[in-house]
Structure 1
Amino acid sequence: MGRSGESRFAKSRVDALSDGVFAFSMTLLVLDIRLPDDLVVASAADLAAHLVSLWDRTLTYVISFFVLGAFWRSGIELRPSGEDAGRSVVHLVLVMLLFVTAVPFSSGLVGRYGHFLPAILVYAANMAVLGVLTIAMRYLDVKPGKRSLAAAAGARLPTFLASAVLSVLIALVAPRYAMYAYLLNFLTRLPFWPGRGFEGRS
């Protein structure tokens, strides 16, 4: 117990669980990029054509991998600096990891059925929840008297959340192009983009 009576948890254990879940989830993403076992390939041209047909799943994989990577890096920056963590922080980490483990499912769903609105909605919801939870973690990482939602959101998280909303709006008209909305986030990696991103404070 801490001085205030709140339960405390070893930070190293929280870190180990978080790192393991992120690593496993990021690895699972690639398993959805595969050719059918019963695929008949008669020539090199056939194989090339089938590989090209996986572009939509590959795009979803790349987006999801780098999104999880960004959130993992954010977690490194935002985890408590002491040797232990409070109950509220641990609970928030567990909720975050719950939605991290859902990314391989939502990624696979949109990779296979991205031309249908429900798949886009599930993926966008998964991404939006991760974004909101990251903002919450950034918010709690600051001392109570200095907390600010604007500072917690930073310069890039609003863009990330906007890309999820934009993908849904595009899906209402042309679902096949909805995932391209997430490419907007790559603009935040350019030198001229304001702020320091998911992993740093603005």
Structure 2
Amino acid sequence: MRKGGPFNLSSHRLDPLIDGIFAVALTVLVLEVKVPELKNPSSARELLDAVGASLPLVIAYFVSFALLGMFWVWHHGLKDKIKRIDGALLFCTLTFLALVCFFPFAAAVFGRYMIYGNVVCLLVYLPLVGLILALQLLYFYLAMRRGLILDEVTPQEAMTTHRRNLYSLAIFLFSCTPAALIVGLSLALICFVCGGLLVYAGIRHRSR
């Protein structure tokens, strides 16, 4: 008989939903890359120029595909260390999947407008990546605090995974600092300080 409330699920119950959403998001990414329409279909120069104009979208597609693939592998790696999903972890998972569904839109905005130097495309794309990383961190942290880690996963292994999550978000924030300068010095300082705090938290956990 299942223990707990209505949201206590086996961690594997969500696998079809997670894999399905990632499959759709990865497929939708490429839809923004359109076949060029030419005034003169026999013109090699015109086709070359049109393909060159689509290059930012192609770059955004491959970068976004790689990121989504990494998030999929990472999430399954975390989930496989968890014995069941309670209400809090279910909320984290659904929010994570909602952000994944939004990723093709952010990738399209980034690919279409980055070539013009429009900083708004960064304000759409980078915060989305940061939120996904933060949710992964929160997801595993809640699992640790709520005693939902598998018995065969040692406390040291769980803590190592948690530190990696902290450092991953910290590295992202440090890498965003130059981009944040485009918006303002205050935002760049916030990114840098938050990254430093995450590194400090990881070091503190390591010393325990």
TM-score normalised per structure 1: 0.72
One-letter identity of the residue aligned with 2:53: S
| 1:102 partner SS | helix
* 1:167 aligned onto 2:179: yes
One-letter identity of the residue aligned with 1:57: L
Instruction: Tell me which of 154, 160, 170 is aligned to 1:158.
Output: 170
| 2:144 partner SS | coil
Task: State the match for 2:144 in structure 1.
Answer: 142
Name whichever structure is richer in helix by fraction.
2
Once residues 82 and 110 of structure 1 are traced to their aligned partners in structure 2, the CA distance between those partners, rounded to angstroms, is: 35
How far apart are residue 9 of structure 1 and its match?
A: 2.3
Higher relative contact order structure (alpha carbons within 8 Å, sequence separation ≥ 6): 1
Once residues 132 and 5 of structure 2 are traced to their aligned partners in structure 1, the CA distance between those partners, rounded to angstroms, is: 30
Residues 40, 51 of structure 1: alpha-carbon distance in 2 compared, 3 angstrom cutoff:
same
One-letter identity of the residue aligned with 1:166: P
How far apart are residue 10 of structure 1 and its match?
A: 4.0
* 1:129 aligned onto 2:149: no
Task: State the match for 2:16 in structure 1.
Answer: 16
Once residues 183 and 48 of structure 2 are traced to their aligned partners in structure 1, the CA distance between those partners, rounded to angstroms, is: 29
Name the % identity.
27
* 1:62 aligned onto 2:62: yes
Task: State the match for 2:99 in structure 1.
Answer: 99
Once residues 150 and 78 of structure 1 are traced to their aligned partners in structure 2, the CA distance between those partners, rounded to angstroms, is: 10
Once residues 177 and 104 of structure 2 are traced to their aligned partners in structure 1, the CA distance between those partners, rounded to angstroms, is: 20
How far apart are residue 47 of structure 1 and its match?
A: 1.2
Choose 131-140 or 69-78, whichever is displaced more: 131-140
Provide Cα deviations, 1:124-179, integer angstroms capped at 9, x if missing partner: 1111111111111232343558676961525433223333443343577xxxxxxx
Equivalenced residues, count? 172
**Structure 2, unaligned stretches of length 5 or more?**
148-154, 185-208
One-letter identity of the residue aligned with 2:75: G
Quick check: 1:57–1:111 contact (8 Å CA) kept in 2? yes
Task: State the match for 1:117 in structure 2.
Answer: 119
Residues 6, 161 of structure 1: alpha-carbon distance in 2 compared, 3 angstrom cutoff:
farther
Select the structure of larger CA radius of gyration.
2
Residues 62, 163 of structure 1: alpha-carbon distance in 2 compared, 3 angstrom cutoff:
farther
| 1:7 partner SS | coil
Quick check: 1:21–1:101 contact (8 Å CA) kept in 2? yes
Quick check: 2:57–2:108 contact (8 Å CA) kept in 1? yes
**Structure 1, unaligned stretches of length 5 or more?**
173-202
How far apart are residue 39 of structure 1 and its match?
A: 5.2
Residues 16, 150 of structure 1: alpha-carbon distance in 2 compared, 3 angstrom cutoff:
closer
Quick check: 1:14–1:90 contact (8 Å CA) kept in 2? no
Once residues 10 and 104 of structure 2 are traced to their aligned partners in structure 1, the CA distance between those partners, rounded to angstroms, is: 28
How far apart are residue 72 of structure 1 and its match?
A: 0.3
